[in-house]
Amino acid sequence: MKMLGQKNNRDNREGLKGWLNPLRYGWERVSYWLQRLTGIFLLVYFVGHVFETSSLVGGRNAWDTMLEMTQTTWGHTFLIMVIGASTFHSANGIRLIFTHVGIGLGKPGRPDYPYYPSSLNTRQRSGIWIALILTAVAMLYGANVLLGGD
């Protein structure tokens, strides 16, 4: 038992804890965290969605029963989260596609103190904020349609 503890201590890898805490390294780390969480969430949704629509093969009754399950406040809340997750994942994903091929990051240069990394520039930060604002707007619109009543 002690040996196990020692080994873990020697490795000292942060593991999942390393990326689950988004609060230490600024907005870029928050966007990284949200991108991963929304990705996992959408994957779970996708599996559930395929399961839901597959009930169609069971005939109209099976489909109606399945649909009733989603027509609840919890079902709608879940759908609002899906709207938020897909909006953020897409908007931030487009930013990341560009950054992953070196677009929008600025050029390497001669660093002068105090150092401002050009890859964490205002353009990138604005991209994150725009993705967050779009997410909020999409969720509000979704909430208005799904929960707003007639």
Partner 1 sequence: MRELDNMTVKSDKKAGCDPRDDSFDLKKTTLRVFRTNTAQGKDSHFDSLVVPVQRWTTVLDSLLYAKSYLDSSIGIRYSCRMASCGSCGMKINGIPRLACYTKISELEDPVVVCEPLPNFPVIRDLVTDFTQFFNHHKSINPYIQNLNYDKTEKIDEVSSSHSHRQSREEVDKYLQFSYCIKCGLCYSACPTVATDTKFPGPQALAQLYRYYADSRDAGKNRLNIVDDRHGLWRCHFAGSCSKVCPKGVDPALGIQLLRSYMLGISKDKRNV
- Interface residues with partner 1 (CB under 8 A)? 2, 6, 9-19, 24-26, 28-29, 32, 35-36, 96, 99-103, 105-113, 115-120, 124
Judged by CB, which is closer to partner 1: 50, or 101? 101
Judged by CB, which is closer to partner 1: 80, or 91? 91
- Tell me the one-letter amino acid at 119: S
Judged by CB, which is closer to partner 1: 1, or 50? 1
Q: What is the SS3 assignment for 50?
A: helix
- CA angle (123 as vertex; 97, 17 as ends), nearest 5: 65
Q: Say how many C-beta atoms besides its own lie within 10 A of residue 8's C-beta.
A: 11
Least distance in angstroms from the C-beta of 19 to partner 1: 4
Q: How many whole angstroms from its chain centre is CA 105?
A: 22
Least distance in angstroms from the C-beta of 60 to partner 1: 44
